[in-house]
Amino acid sequence: MKPISILGSTGSIGTQTLDVVRKTKDSLHIKALTAGTNFRLMERQAREFQPELVVMMDENAARQLKISLADTGIKISWGIEGLIEAAVIPETDTVVTAVSGRIGLEPTLAALKQGKNIALANKETLVAAGELVMRTAAETNAEIIPVDSEHSAIFQCLNGKREEAANITLTASGGPFLNWTREELRQATAEKALKHPNWKMGAKITIDSATMMNKGLEVIEAHWLFGFSYEEIKVLIHPQSIVHSFVEFNDASILAQMGEPDMRHPIQYALSYPQRWTSAYSRLNLAGKTLTFSEPDHKMFPFLEFAYTCGKKGGTLPAVMNAANEVCVHAFLKNRIKYFDLFNLVEKVCLEHQAQKADQLAVILDTDLWARERSEELICNMIK
Ligand code: NDP
Ligand code: MG
C-alpha cells in the first residue's frame, strides 16, 4: 500500500482523490488529511480513512474537530505549521497538493525537502515559486507528478523523452464565457461563471477558467514542470475537453492524450505512476464525437497573453500576478468587482511591481503579501 497525504481533502480535487483511494482499495493508504474550515466533512473523512493526523487551517475548526474525534485517537493540528506537519509526516510516499492558492507553497517545499513525491494539483505554488520548487525537488530527487489534466497529458505523451519534443499545446475548454460578447462579459457574474460546462471544480479555479487566467497559470506551470520556453507552449480552445493536451516531437509527429473529462483519471495516474491501474471510471467512446480546435480570443480574455508576458519577464512578477489574481477573484466571487475589473486590477498591481529574483522563499512571501495588500487597497478605492 502506498502511503499518501492529501492537503485540501475537502475540496473538489481532495474529495475526488479520496474517491480514487476508495476505488483502488489496498493500493493507497491515507496518513494525513488537511482542510481549511470544513470540519464536518473532515470528521466524516477522518472516520472513514483513519489517518494518523488531521489538520484544519482554522483554529476554531480544529477545536470543533478535537471534540468530535475525541474517541478516535487521531492527532489534530492547525494553522500553517499543521499543514507543514501533514506534508512531512514520516513514511508518506506522495503528498497530493490540492489546496487552492499560494498557501500550498510552504508545505510543498517542506515535503520536497524530505524527498517526498508531490502529486501536484496546486498550480499557484508553481506559478509563484517555480524556480525554487523545481530546484528543491532536484536537490532531493523528489518527483513532481502533475494532476492538472493538461499537464498529466503532456507528462504521459512525453513519457520521459523531453529531449525529443519540439513544443506542446495545452487545450482549453474556453470556460463558461466562451463566445460571449463584450457587453455580456461586462455583465458577467460569479454565479454565471460557476456554471462550468465540462468540469465541476472549486470556486477559485472556476472563475480562473472563466477569465482564462487558469490557462495562463497553466502555461507558467508547464514551463516549470517540463522546461519548455514560452514560445514552445501553445494554447488552443477545445470546448469538448476530450484531448487533454498534446506534444509535437522533433520529427513532426504529434502525440495527444484523450479521455473523459473526469479529474479522477489524472488523479489516479499521478498516484499509480509509473504503473497504470485499472480504472473504475467511465471510459471514452469516440464514436460520433466531433473534436474542434481554435485560437483563443485574446481581446475578450486578456489574462492569457498577460500571463505569457509575466512568465517571460519572470522573477517575482508571476508571484505578484498570482497573488493579485487570488485577491481579485475572491472579490469577484463576492460581487465586489466586475469581470473586466479583474484584469485591470491585476495588471495595475503588476505594473507597479519592480521584479526581483525569485530564488528565495522570504522574497517570494514578502512579494506575495505586498501584492495582496495592494490589490485589496485598489479594490477598496474602486468601490468607495
Ligand atoms: P477547492 O476550493 O474545491 O478546495 C480547496 C481545498 O483547500 C479545500 O479542502 C479547502 O478546505 C482547502 N483550503 C482552502 N483555503 C485554505 C487555506 N487558506 N489553507 C488551507 N487549506 C485551505 O479547490 P479545488 O479542489 O478546485 O482546487 C484545488 C487546487 O487544484 C487548485 O490549485 C486548483 O487550481 C487545482 N486544480 C483543480 C482542478 C479541479 O478540477 N477542481 C483541476 C486542476 C487543478 P475547506 O473545504 O475547509 O475550505
Ligand atoms: Mg487544467
Q: Where are the domains of the chain?
A: 2-146, 149-307, 314-384
Residue with cell 497525504: 5
Q: Which long-range contacts (CB under 8 A, 24 or more apart) does 60-68 make?
A: 61/35, 61/36, 61/37, 64/39, 65/39, 68/39, 68/43
Q: Give the per-residue pLDDT at 99.
A: 98
- The set of residues, in sequence order, having a beta carbon less than 8 Å from that of 288 and lying 6+ positions away, is none
- The set of residues, in sequence order, having a beta carbon less than 8 Å from that of 189 and lying 6+ positions away, is 335
Cα–chain center distance at 190: 19
* Other Cβ atoms within 10 Å of 252 Cβ, number: 7
Which cell numbers hold the place of 127? 506559478
Residues of the chain scoring pLDDT < 70: 196-197, 199
The DSSP bridge partners found for residue 146 are 120
The DSSP bridge partners found for residue 255 are 247
Instruction: Report the pocket of ligand 1 as residue ranges, CB < 6 Å.
Output: 8-14, 35-38, 57, 98-100, 103, 121-124, 148, 199, 201-205, 263
Sheet holding 94-97, edge to edge: 75-78, 53-56, 28-35, 2-7, 94-97, 117-120, 144-146
Q: Give the per-residue pLDDT at 25.
A: 81
At the second CATH level, the architecture of 2-146 is 3-Layer(aba) Sandwich (3.40)
What's the rounded Cα separation, in Å, for the pair 187 and 26?
50
Q: Give the per-residue pLDDT at 195.
A: 80
Which residue CA neighbors atom 31 of ligand 1 most closely?
100
Contact of 28 with 56, CB cutoff 8 Å: no
CA of 38 to the centre of ligand 2 (A): 24
CA of 235 to the centre of ligand 1 (A): 24
CA of 243 to the centre of ligand 1 (A): 24
- The set of residues, in sequence order, having a beta carbon less than 8 Å from that of 190 and lying 6+ positions away, is 203, 207, 332, 333, 334, 335
Q: Which amino acids are annotated as binding site, given as ranges?
A: 10-13, 36, 38, 122-124, 148-150, 173, 196, 202, 209, 214-215, 218
Q: Are 2-146 and 314-384 equal in CATH topology?
A: no
What's the rounded Cα separation, in Å, for the pair 296 and 312?
19
Neighbouring C-alpha atoms within 13 Å toward the C-beta of 110: 20
Query: Which ligand lies nearest the alpha carbon of 122?
Result: 1
Query: Which ligand lies nearest the alpha carbon of 149?
Result: 2
Q: Under DSSP, is residue 358 helix (H, G, I), strand (E, B) or coil?
A: coil
* Other Cβ atoms within 10 Å of 141 Cβ, number: 9
For residue range 60-102, list pLDDT tens digits in order.
999 999 999 999 999 999 999 999 999 999 999 999 999 999 9
What's the rounded Cα separation, in Å, for the pair 69 and 233?
48
Q: Give the per-residue pLDDT at 193.
A: 87
At the second CATH level, the architecture of 314-384 is Orthogonal Bundle (1.10)
Q: Give the per-residue pLDDT at 27.
A: 97
Name the residue of 99, 125, 198 to mutate for ligand 1: max ligand atoms within 8 A of Cβ.
99
- For residue 140, CA distances in Å to 144, 257, 271, 319 come to 11, 30, 19, 24
